[in-house]
Amino acid sequence: MTVSLLHEAALWDAGFDAVAGIDEAGRGALAGTVSVGVSVVTRCDSWPDGLTDSKLLSAARREAMLEPLASFGVARAVGHASSAEIDEVGIVAALRLAARRALDAIPVAVDAVLLDGTHDWLTPPPADLFSDHADEWEAPPVTMIVKGDRACASIAAASVLAKVERDALMAAAHEDHPEYGWDSNKGYGAASHLEALRTHGPSPLHRVSWKLPFRAS
């Protein structure tokens, strides 16, 4: 599937000038941050050659995409939520926290969001009997796009930005915790990573609220 700006153009035509494509990296990992990329585009008609879902690109091609992405759109950022924050508030709230950090780092007002997937995790839930008050932050209007990282240029850009930055964080963390192989598995549940957990137990960067194969006592 080739990316396009069709979904972005529909929002531009509806009066939304600055449209942000948003995607995450690390949601299903056992260790490390969850990272959310944001790529903001105003009306345009082109995107970097070869841009697509980050999962379809090699690490080298993702890295090479950073330079053309630096001039695609009007703003871009990546936000992160730590493993400790994921343990404290849960993965969905952590995704929203990382997205808010990315949006706060962008020097333009975002009018609308294109979000990859089927579940709107960006819009705060309303207050209920179990919460004192609703989240006071208001997300821009969100449009969900199934497989948006393969259909929307702005979401694909966000996916590449998030993936490259999170991979770099995990490669750096590998230097302190080489036993888990994060330079290759990036914190996901590869067989060697699971075996290292059974042998060494969790590190400070593991999501200990998740069902991990802890070391036998």
* Domain-embedded: residue 179: yes
* Domain-embedded: residue 1: no
Residue 106 structural domain: 6-200
Annotation-wise, does 111 bind a ligand? no
* Domain-embedded: residue 185: yes
* Domain-embedded: residue 101: yes
- Look up the CATH number of the domain holding residue 149: 3.30.420.10
CA distance 92 to 86: 8
User: Could you list the pLDDT tens digit for every one of the 217 residues in the chain?
Assistant: 689 999 999 999 999 999 999 999 999 999 999 999 999 999 999 999 999 999 999 999 999 999 999 999 999 999 999 999 999 999 999 999 999 999 999 999 999 999 999 999 999 988 765 655 555 688 999 999 999 999 999 999 999 999 999 999 999 999 999 999 999 999 999 999 999 999 999 999 999 999 898 765 5
* Domain-embedded: residue 30: yes
Full-model pTM = 0.94
CA distance 86 to 91: 5
- The helix or strand, by DSSP H or E, that contains position 75, with its residue range, turns out to be strand 75-81
- pLDDT one-digit tens code per residue, 27-39: 999 999 999 999 9
* Edge-to-edge strands, sheet with 75-81: 75-81, 34-41, 19-25, 112-116, 142-145
* Domain-embedded: residue 211: no
* Domain-embedded: residue 210: no
* Domain-embedded: residue 15: yes
Q: Give the total number of structural domains in the chain.
A: 1
CA distance 141 to 169: 30
